[in-house]
Structure 1
């Protein structure tokens, strides 16, 4: 609705000067009458106090919007299709083997956060997060150790991302039947174990009781047959010299089997060239989704079959899927970006139960093999029978 322009006022006639009267001076026009000035009432003490209080409150609220708060806020972050591209570059590139197209999506999920060094949470942001069903407020020290800088945090996230990509590649190729040779170098020993006094950093494990360790899977499989407390003979290479070292095994912390008591830093020789490239995302929690993407690209079948599947979870070289943080925020982000299925680490089920957003179906997985089977079932339309949380 537009206002009409005002009509031009008609010209007004102004009276001319009165004619002179004989014997008198010219008449002077009368000064126009001035209206009385209308002054606003002077504020009383109560009005002044109220106005001052309102001003102070406004200033306080304005300050709270930007005032840093000692809390971290976790919220749904961006998601990305590992079968797709980022800025025109495929997230997964494979050379040396035939790859196949797909019609669906496998979306990794992330968490965005404030309260990290250089990105403080404001009071307003914290209040908004408290009122949100998808955000989480925690003391800052629960998210970032005291004294850690943003650069240190970025470096750690990048290291974990690089490690997760390597683990995903090994796990995926192993799942598909490839052999991935590895050199198993000792990075250190665990205090209190028999190995601590016998093995050194830089030693290379070559055999257990005569069984050669050509890859990491051979180490896992062979050690899995040993009873905790048994003495094994480790074949090692130290400084280029081979030797046998007897070691009494210990028991894994979860009681699931024997352990040697060493930290292994494996160096892998990949049978095909797999490159994973993604910017702006760090940490280890995309490992499972990367592994699923590699499996999907290297198999003729279209496992996703047009479905939009999201998920999260760390992965190790054996294909075990591990728990992650921020799973409620990741489920919310997955639903926001169109996913209808979500693969969650079985170890995270306690955080999932009772918090699944409407419209999203969660499948619990413990291994990469479980995850591949779940994606295949979802693509075939038989996902309703898959295990869930709770």
Structure 2
């Protein structure tokens, strides 16, 4: 028995069959959505054999790092320089020891400043993180040596050059035969006066054979039989080449933990600027990239799209781009950034001078063929 205020039993009623059916369907949909989210989250953390390139920070070669000048000179007058000659970098997500996932790839696909590559397109197969770091460090040191030598030669100094073994990676056919620091004297009887001569002489050999290489080790000539192997149709001995220059001026370049050879052009410009009176940039902020080769040509690099965006994000107004990268530049220039095409150190130096003089509009740019 209930009081008058109590609801009648029928007010509780039986569930409406229609509403009940909707409730069950909603539950099923929610369950399916939950499962999809869980599966997507799981997939997003599965490592995939790709790498993602993203814009990295830029560094003014005319500035300081940890309170010390990036370009330090002894044995000659160093002149203060205003403006900026920025070298650009790329942040690589993935590679040896670090794998990307589906979420990383999805984000990269939506952004113009990021690119996805298969892992083997960026890193050699079976390479380790330590090997990559060692190779990048060796390339950075070599690029700094070349930059200093070319800048000093441009200023009239005589700079003798020796080609040496910079590194013998694990798995190299020359491992246990050649050593870091060996100076090339000849290959198969051909004198090796520069890096091009070394590469040409090695490529002339039959892959899989051994070649006689004379090196100078600890002051004495040593004749060695060095195995070769094929690498994508070219004969190699599997060593990293370095250049040992006798510089008449002591030049030190501190780039921090950045590796690789692509800052060579900007280093060369910076050393030249510091060793010459006046302000090469006239206070302008100029970024750029490109290897600097011993013949003073500017070589192509990877990650040009990321470097363009990194330069603009870092405040640069102008960008020096290797001519051989122009096909990757067109259509990917951030708003507000003026890109200048360069193919040599003379091109780069002339471009900086023109920009400083307010004549950037007269310089060559990357165009579609």
If the length of structure 2 is used for normalisation, what is the TM-score? 0.73
The residue matched to 2:124 in structure 1 has which SS? coil
Extract unaligned runs of 5+ from structure 1: 1-30, 188-200, 206-212, 221-235, 243-262
Aligned residue in 2 for 1:372: 349
Aligned residue in 2 for 1:134: 113
Aligned residue in 1 for 2:156: 177
1:52–1:152 distance in 2 versus 1, CA, 3 Å: same
Q: CA deviation at 1:296?
A: 0.7
Residues in 2 aligned to 1:167 and 1:376: alpha-carbon distance in whole angstroms: 22
CA contact under 8 A between 2:312 and 2:336: conserved in structure 1? Answer: yes
1:352 corresponds to which of 311, 316, 329: 329
Q: Does 1:271 align with 2:253?
A: no
Q: Does 1:338 align with 2:315?
A: yes
Q: Does 1:168 align with 2:147?
A: yes
1:166–1:241 distance in 2 versus 1, CA, 3 Å: closer
Aligned residue in 2 for 1:93: 72
Q: Does 1:69 align with 2:53?
A: no
Aligned residue in 2 for 1:121: 100
Residues in 2 aligned to 1:85 and 1:40: alpha-carbon distance in whole angstroms: 80
CA contact under 8 A between 1:288 and 1:313: conserved in structure 2? Answer: yes
Residues in 1 aligned to 2:69 and 2:348: alpha-carbon distance in whole angstroms: 22
2:62 corresponds to which of 78, 83, 88: 83
Residues in 2 aligned to 1:40 and 1:287: alpha-carbon distance in whole angstroms: 81
Residues in 1 aligned to 2:6 and 2:156: alpha-carbon distance in whole angstroms: 103
The residue matched to 1:274 in structure 2 has which SS? strand
Cα RMSD for the two superposed structures: 3.3
1:58–1:186 distance in 2 versus 1, CA, 3 Å: closer
Residues in 2 aligned to 1:173 and 1:324: alpha-carbon distance in whole angstroms: 24
CA contact under 8 A between 1:181 and 1:216: conserved in structure 2? Answer: no
Q: CA deviation at 1:131?
A: 0.7
If the length of structure 1 is used for normalisation, what is the TM-score? 0.69
Extract unaligned runs of 5+ from structure 2: 167-181, 187-191, 198-213, 222-239
CA contact under 8 A between 1:185 and 1:264: conserved in structure 2? Answer: yes
2:90 corresponds to which of 111, 119, 127: 111
